[in-house]
Amino acid sequence: MRKKKILIIILALIAINIYFLARAVFSFSLDDKMRVIFFDVGQGDASLVMADGLNILIDGGPDKKVVEKLDKYLPFWDREIDIMVLTHPHADHVAGLIDVFKKYQVDEVWMTGVLHSSYEYLEFLEIARDSGMATRMVGRDAINRVSATNIKIEILYPREDLFEKTVDNLNNSSIVLRISYKDKSFLFAGDIEEKADAELCEKPLLSHPLEGEGNIRSDVLKIAHHGSANASSQCFLEAVKPEITVISAGRDNDFGMPSLRILNRLERMGIGVFRTDEDGDVIMETDGKEIKKFTP
Ligand SMILES: [Zn+2]
């Protein structure tokens, strides 16, 4: 009986040690760095940005696969999403976020509040409203840009308030945001198509009503609309001038994404491409001077 007690105490001590060791290793590995993971969630979009103790989730993909990814990449003691961004209400971006609400504590949600009546979007809005979390409507509310730390978030699109408005094309209502860590920046282009793409590249220096000068130049670009041919114009890619791009698309998806036209365009321009359908989760880390990509 006594031996059993001693064994339990020893095991408990080992467990406590492992816990603190894991904590130390994890916090050390992200010390002075930003990590960005483009999750392989099939046909959809979901990316996680971790820096300065913040977890920022941009879209949630089409189902609960995003929760498996968060469980995998976030330490088990960290079940908090500081900022959740819904770029636009299509199911391949919003549906997984409903599952995230069930398992993670979400502090703040950023969205446009555009009108759309799909089941998934209405459920998302209901949870966000009833849970009492902070909701910020891009284009209407002041957005906390987290400028006190090394990380800077800029909302580059939409350039107008879409709250409770109907739009012709939901893809073009996508929030486009740039997240920078010191000198390195990542541009998340949502699902924008030609109209928004053209506005952003033809008037990149147009003064934005809320956020900075609207320059879209970035080191890494999450390609718009899963690599569809109706986005990523030559003009847009030249204005962003990325070193690396990431395409989030499902294996053998029904939409033929990414488009061969876009892949050829990127190759011609000498821009590197990673694809979640072929590479799985795409993980990048930056110290603010250089960007490293590594496999999980
Ligand atoms: Zn999409």
Give residue 33 CA to ligand 1 midpoint distance, Å. 29
pLDDT tens profile 4-52: 777 666 666 666 666 555 555 454 456 789 999 999 999 999 999 999 8
Same domain for 18 and 132, yes or no, is no
Give residue 7 CA to ligand 1 midpoint distance, Å. 53
Give residue 214 CA to ligand 1 midpoint distance, Å. 23
The set of residues, in sequence order, having a beta carbon less than 8 Å from that of 158 and lying 6+ positions away, is 112, 138, 139, 172, 173, 174, 175, 196
Same domain for 285 and 141, yes or no, is yes
CA distance 190 to 92: 11
Give residue 184 CA to ligand 1 midpoint distance, Å. 25
Give residue 108 CA to ligand 1 midpoint distance, Å. 22
Q: What is the pLDDT of residue 74?
A: 96
Give residue 111 CA to ligand 1 midpoint distance, Å. 15
Give residue 155 CA to ligand 1 midpoint distance, Å. 19
Give residue 191 CA to ligand 1 midpoint distance, Å. 6
Same domain for 13 and 144, yes or no, is no
Containing structural domain, residue 117: 32-294
For residue 79, is pLDDT > 60? yes
The residue-averaged pLDDT of 252-270 equals 93
Q: What is the pLDDT of residue 149?
A: 75
The residue-averaged pLDDT of 203-215 equals 50
Same domain for 17 and 126, yes or no, is no
Q: What is the pLDDT of residue 202?
A: 80
Higher-confidence residue of 94 and 147: namely: 94
CATH number for position 56: 3.60.15.10
Same domain for 150 and 195, yes or no, is yes
Helix (H) or strand (E) holding 259: none
Contact 228, 193 (CB under 8 A): yes
Same domain for 49 and 96, yes or no, is yes
Give residue 28 CA to ligand 1 midpoint distance, Å. 35
For residue 296, is pLDDT > 80? no
Same domain for 19 and 163, yes or no, is no
Task: State the amino acid at position 25 in one-letter form.
Answer: V
Q: Which two tokens stand for residue 233?
A: 């114009």
pLDDT-derived band of residue 208, with 50, 70 and 90 as boundaries? very low
Higher-confidence residue of 18 and 194: namely: 194
Q: Which two tokens stand for residue 145?
A: 């840009």
Q: What is the pLDDT of residue 281?
A: 97
pLDDT-derived band of residue 212, with 50, 70 and 90 as boundaries? very low
Same domain for 131 and 21, yes or no, is no
- 3-state DSSP call for residue 70? helix
For residue 210, is pLDDT > 70? no
Q: What is the pLDDT of residue 15?
A: 66
Q: What is the pLDDT of residue 294?
A: 78
Q: What is the pLDDT of residue 206?
A: 46
Helix (H) or strand (E) holding 55: strand 54-58
Q: What total number of domains does the chain contain?
A: 2
Same domain for 23 and 87, yes or no, is no
For residue 282, is pLDDT > 80? yes
Same domain for 122 and 15, yes or no, is no
Give residue 230 CA to ligand 1 midpoint distance, Å. 13
Segment of 82-86, 252-256, 292-296 carrying the highest mean pLDDT:
82-86
Same domain for 227 and 182, yes or no, is yes
From residue 72, give the alpha-carbon distance in Å to each of 32, 152, 292. Answer: 22, 26, 20
Higher-confidence residue of 212 and 289: namely: 289
pLDDT-derived band of residue 203, with 50, 70 and 90 as boundaries? confident
For the ranges 133-142, 178-187, 285-294, which has the lowest average pLDDT? 133-142
Same domain for 20 and 70, yes or no, is no
For residue 213, is pLDDT > 50? no
CA distance 36 to 28: 16
